[in-house]
């Protein structure tokens, strides 16, 4: 019985690629140095899977930024502003598209489906001249083959690539991206032909958009694309891989009828209903790559249950045609549990990271083939039973409090307009008030202080003193820049979710459980294993300390319940909304303590609210109802004069704008500039927004420093669709990933732009 892995984490067990990328970007190392690190990681990944007994090992899933950008490079679809003149695309052009450079901004970045991974959105139009400009897929196949590993090269499928793209600036929004299919397929044919010539026997096309709500025209594009590729694919085994949700009956029918396709990879963890479609109709002689091992969470597989599912599928598709697989790429989980030295043995026994999931896949394949490892299965069953019965998982008081939430919608008593009036009397802010989103640059010295405190190398007194000094530096800088509503810069926090999880019950933490978010940015999601509560205040000391250093309003900075949920590895033994309500009650306690401590502006970030939106429209309403309700729970008890902010970033918010309004926050700051001001279109179309709003005026994920005039121009575009008295001026997101040399001039220009426009607005009244 064969086994398969959809994809594997790239960063390395200790983020080796992250550090190599950042060293290269900072011009401290060469392209050859970066390539050497990358080659070492690829070699190690392939060897690990081969040693574990995996038959179908992927290649070309490694990336220096993301797989969609790799496909853009392969197709030569470089926007003209990057000055690329043809030939093989090098690092300069590639990273300029991803990160921008001193003269031009980056391409838009957005979430990869409903994950916390991101991709660079292709910008396409009728005039794009596609050409085969990156041979990465073929080069990596040959590289693996030279190491003695015959891999399955993976390409982002042509239809998904186009459906994930957007019309370039200046191209009509109604332009049909799928009309470009005949222009990109010749390049796919070149790649396929080279892979065949290099000796590939299998090829995997990732077509994850098949799980979305697609119309007949979109489904027909898949049929047309693979019919066109059929003759080129002749002689290859072709796997179409889908993941993250069920297939609709229409999409399933389309997939199983595709020309020249040998195998279908289906997510049977998040797509359990797809099993019914398989039972009804599975094409004879085709392979099913059954994704029964969860690629998006860190819980050990229930091997007995998965084996039962596989045995039922085996009876349908045939013994020789069933391949055990992961539900999706393991990119979305941590790398290796072996590196976790501080997790206690009980919790550790409940977990499986990417390396362990590879072993689980192979163990299930061997069990199906009659070579069951009884000791491994027994150990797994013991761990499953331990997790179900452990007293540390359940807190009766928390469950009662969450159950008591039913029956109220937890809205503040006064409408937002009246609250804003009361807040303005207290805060006395100017027109176009300026603020930042929360974090300031995390310097090497600051990281050293936190690291040494965690390792007990410095005392708590020394740690507190160092953090206070950093806060004072950030406060003084903001006052010098004349920012209106200040932040303390979050020097005590490595991560906006991890910091809170460390102080909440029901959470566990890893040492090296890093997961790639985008580029070199990695996060270490907490593990929610049990009921959640707040034993004591989490941020009050630092916020009060910061407020004592200034007479200006100081924001209390919290992460919202939906974002904590969506950016954690969440327990899978109860509905997600129940866990979210528990977190909301814990944050509510913190909000009320901040208010008692004299903090008049409290930001509750919900950066990931849109990210958790189900992929199917039929499931949107239920998710948005409990997600928005969770946010309202956190602040329903504060006074009218306490201003509640929230922040959202790097998703398409236009389709949930009414739910955002229903959150009933006093002010929302929201990413806008990197997505080419897409957000503003919703207001041009007539949506009325009465609360305060700060669409970001510059992209913080690029080192580029925008001019005062550029920012003023952005603000004027906002004023064309938003009322003057509700508009705030702020960056797209937090500043922790930037350097002070970039932050100071950018914020200086931002404040200057607001000051430039204030007199004009006053005279226009």
Give pLDDT, residue 702.
83
Give pLDDT, residue 71.
98
DSSP 160: H
* 135: three-class secondary structure by DSSP: coil
Choosing among 3.40.50.1780, 3.20.20.210, 1.10.10.10, 3.40.640.10, the CATH entry for 422-763 is: 3.20.20.210
Please list, in sequence order, all residues whose beta carbon lies within 8 angstroms of the beta carbon of residue 280, skipping any fewer than 6 positions away: none
Could you tell me which of 603, 599, 622 has the C-alpha nearest to residue 541?
Answer: 599
Place 345 in a pLDDT band, splitting at 50, 70 and 90.
very high
Give pLDDT, residue 721.
87
Give pLDDT, residue 657.
87
Token pair 């950066």: residue: 607
Q: Which residues pair with 603 in a beta bridge?
A: 557, 645
Report the distance separating Cα 235 and Cα 326, nearest Å: 26
Q: What is the pLDDT of residues 495-546, one digit of tens each?
A: 888 899 999 999 999 999 999 999 999 999 999 999 999 999 999 999 999 9
Backbone angles phi, psi at 36, to 5 degrees: -65, -45
Q: What is the pLDDT of residues 463-480, one digit of tens each?
A: 999 999 999 999 999 999
Give pLDDT, residue 701.
80
Place 677 in a pLDDT band, splitting at 50, 70 and 90.
low
Binding residues for 5-methyltetrahydropteroyltri-L-glutamate: 18, 116, 521-522, 567
Q: Mark whether 629 is an active-site residue.
A: no
Mean pLDDT of 185-201: 98
Could you tell me which of 231, 161, 162 has the C-alpha nearest to residue 196?
Answer: 231
Hey, how many other C-beta atoms are within 10 angstroms of the C-beta on 28? Answer: 9
Q: What is the pLDDT of residues 407-424, one digit of tens each?
A: 788 999 999 999 999 999
Q: Where are the domains of the chain?
A: 2-389, 422-763
Give pLDDT, residue 676.
60
User: Given a cut of 80, is residue 684 above it in pLDDT?
Assistant: no
Place 673 in a pLDDT band, splitting at 50, 70 and 90.
confident
Give pLDDT, residue 654.
77
Q: What is the pLDDT of residues 724-740, one digit of tens each?
A: 999 999 999 999 989 99
Helices (H), 518-575: 540-547, 561-566
Name the burial class of residue 545, with classes exposed (0-12), middle (13-18) and buried (19+) by CB atoms within 10 angstroms of its CB. middle
Q: What's the mean pLDDT when you consider all of the chain? A: 95
The residue that leads in pLDDT, 408 or 619, is 619
User: Given a cut of 70, is residue 574 above it in pLDDT?
Assistant: yes
Please list, in sequence order, all residues whose beta carbon lies within 8 angstroms of the beta carbon of residue 616, skipping any fewer than 6 positions away: 212, 213, 245, 246
User: Given a cut of 80, is residue 763 above it in pLDDT?
Assistant: no
Q: Is there a contact between 430 and 729 (Cβ–Cβ < 8 Å)?
A: no
Give pLDDT, residue 495.
80
Of all residues in the chain, what percent carry a pLDDT higher than 70? 99
Q: What is the pLDDT of residues 21-36, one digit of tens each?
A: 999 999 999 999 999 9
Binding residues for Zn(2+): 647, 649, 658, 662, 671, 733
Q: Could you check whether 2-389 and 422-763 share the same CATH topology?
A: yes
User: Given a cut of 80, is residue 757 above it in pLDDT?
Assistant: yes
Place 678 in a pLDDT band, splitting at 50, 70 and 90.
low
Q: What is the pLDDT of residues 133-173, one digit of tens each?
A: 999 999 999 999 999 999 999 999 999 999 999 999 999 99
Give pLDDT, residue 765.
59
Mean pLDDT of 633-648: 96
Give pLDDT, residue 2.
95
Give pLDDT, residue 199.
98
Give pLDDT, residue 683.
73
User: Given a cut of 90, is residue 687 above it in pLDDT?
Assistant: no
Q: For domain 2-389, give the CATH number.
A: 3.20.20.210
| Given the residues 118, 332, 629, 701, the one annotated as active site | 701
Name the burial class of residue 743, with classes exposed (0-12), middle (13-18) and buried (19+) by CB atoms within 10 angstroms of its CB. buried
Q: What is the pLDDT of residues 349-405, one digit of tens each?
A: 999 999 999 999 999 999 999 999 999 999 999 999 999 999 999 999 999 999 999
């Amino acid at each position: 019985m064969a086994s398969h892995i959809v994809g594997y984490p790239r960063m390395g067990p200790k983020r080796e690629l992250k550090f190599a990328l950042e060293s290269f970007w900072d011009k401290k190392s060469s392209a050859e140095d970066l390539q050497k690190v990358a080659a070492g990681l690829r070699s190690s990944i392939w060897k690990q899977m081969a040693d574990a007994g995996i038959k179908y090992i992927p290649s070309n899933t490694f990336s220096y930024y993301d797989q969609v950008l790799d496909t853009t490079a392969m197709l030569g679809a470089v926007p003209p502003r990057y000055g690329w003149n043809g030939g093989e695309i090098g690092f300069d052009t590639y990273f300029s598209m991803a990160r921008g450079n001193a003269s031009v901004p980056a391409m838009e970045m957005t979430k990869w489906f409903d994950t916390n991974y991101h991709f660079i959105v292709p910008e396409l139009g009728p005039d794009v001249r596609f050409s085969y400009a990156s041979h990465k897929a073929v080069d990596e196949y040959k590289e693996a083959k030279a190491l003695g590993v015959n891999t399955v090269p993976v390409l982002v499928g042509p239809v998904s690539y186009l459906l994930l793209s957007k019309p370039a600036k200046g191209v009509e929004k109604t332009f049909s991206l799928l009309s470009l299919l005949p222009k990109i397929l010749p390049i796919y044919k070149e790649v396929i032909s080279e892979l065949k010539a290099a000796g590939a026997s299998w090829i995997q096309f990732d077509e994850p958009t098949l799980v979305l709500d697609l119309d007949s025209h979109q489904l027909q594009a898949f049929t047309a694309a693979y019919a066109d590729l059929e003759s080129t694919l002749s002689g290859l085994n072709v796997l179409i891989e889908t993941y993250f949700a069920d297939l609709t009956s229409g999409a399933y029918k389309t997939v199983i009828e595709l020309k020249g396709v040998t195998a279908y990879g289906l997510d049977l963890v998040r797509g359990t209903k797809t099993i019914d479609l398989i039972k009804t109709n599975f094409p004879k002689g085709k392979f099913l790559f059954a994704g029964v091992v969860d690629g998006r969470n860190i819980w050990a597989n229930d091997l007995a249950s998965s084996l039962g599912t596989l045995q039922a599928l085996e009876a349908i598709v045939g013994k020789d045609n069933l391949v055990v697989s992961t539900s999706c790429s393991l990119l979305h989980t941590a790398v290796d549990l072996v590196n976790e030295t501080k997790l206690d043995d009980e919790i550790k026994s409940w977990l499986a990271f990417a390396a362990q999931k590879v072993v689980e896949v192979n163990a299930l394949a061997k069990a199906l083939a009659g070579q069951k490892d009884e000791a491994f299965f027994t150990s797994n069953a013991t761990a499953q039973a331990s997790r179900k019965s452990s007293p540390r998982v359940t807190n009766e008081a928390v469950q009662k409090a969450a159950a008591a939430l039913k029956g109220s919608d937890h809205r503040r008593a006064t409408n937002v307009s009246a609250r804003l009036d009361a807040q303005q009397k207290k805060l006395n802010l100017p027109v176009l008030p300026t603020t930042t989103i929360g974090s300031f640059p995390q310097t090497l010295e600051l990281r050293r202080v936190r690291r040494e405190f965690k390792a007990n190398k410095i005392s708590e007194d020394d740690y507190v003193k160092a953090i206070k000094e950093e806060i004072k530096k950030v406060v003084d800088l903001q006052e010098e820049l004349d920012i209106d509503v200040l932040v303390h810069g979050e020097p005590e926090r490595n991560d906006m979710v991890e910091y809170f999880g460390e102080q909440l019950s029901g959470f566990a933490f890893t040492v090296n459980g890093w997961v790639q978010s985008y580029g070199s940015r990695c996060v270490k999601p907490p593990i929610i294993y049990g009921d959640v509560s707040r034993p004591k205040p989490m941020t009050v000391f630092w916020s009060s300390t910061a407020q004592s250093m200034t007479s200006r309003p100081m924001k209390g900075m919290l992460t919202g319940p939906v974002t904590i949920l969506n950016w954690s590895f969440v327990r899978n033994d109860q509905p997600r909304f129940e866990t979210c309500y528990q977190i909301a009650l814990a944050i509510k306690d913190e909000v009320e303590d901040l208010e008692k401590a004299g903090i008049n502006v409290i930001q509750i970030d919900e950066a990931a609210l849109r990210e958790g939106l189900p992929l199917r429209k039929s499931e949107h309403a239920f998710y948005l109802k409990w997600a928005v309700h969770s946010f309202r729970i956190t602040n329903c008890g504060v006074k009218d004069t306490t201003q509640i902010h929230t922040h959202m970033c790097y998703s398409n918010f236009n389709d949930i704008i009414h739910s955002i309004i229903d959150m009933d926050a006093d002010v929302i700051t929201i990413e806008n500039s990197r997505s080419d001001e897409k957000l503003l279109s919703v207001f041009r179309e007539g949506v009325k927004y009465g609360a305060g709003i700060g669409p970001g005026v510059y992209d913080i994920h690029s080192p580029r420093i925008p001019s005062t005039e550029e920012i003023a121009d952005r603000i004027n575009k906002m004023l064309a669709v938003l009322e003057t008295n509700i508009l705030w001026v702020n960056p797209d997101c937090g500043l922790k990933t930037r350097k002070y040399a970039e932050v100071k001039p950018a914020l200086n220009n931002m404040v200057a732009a607001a000051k430039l426009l204030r007199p004009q607005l006053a005279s226009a009244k």
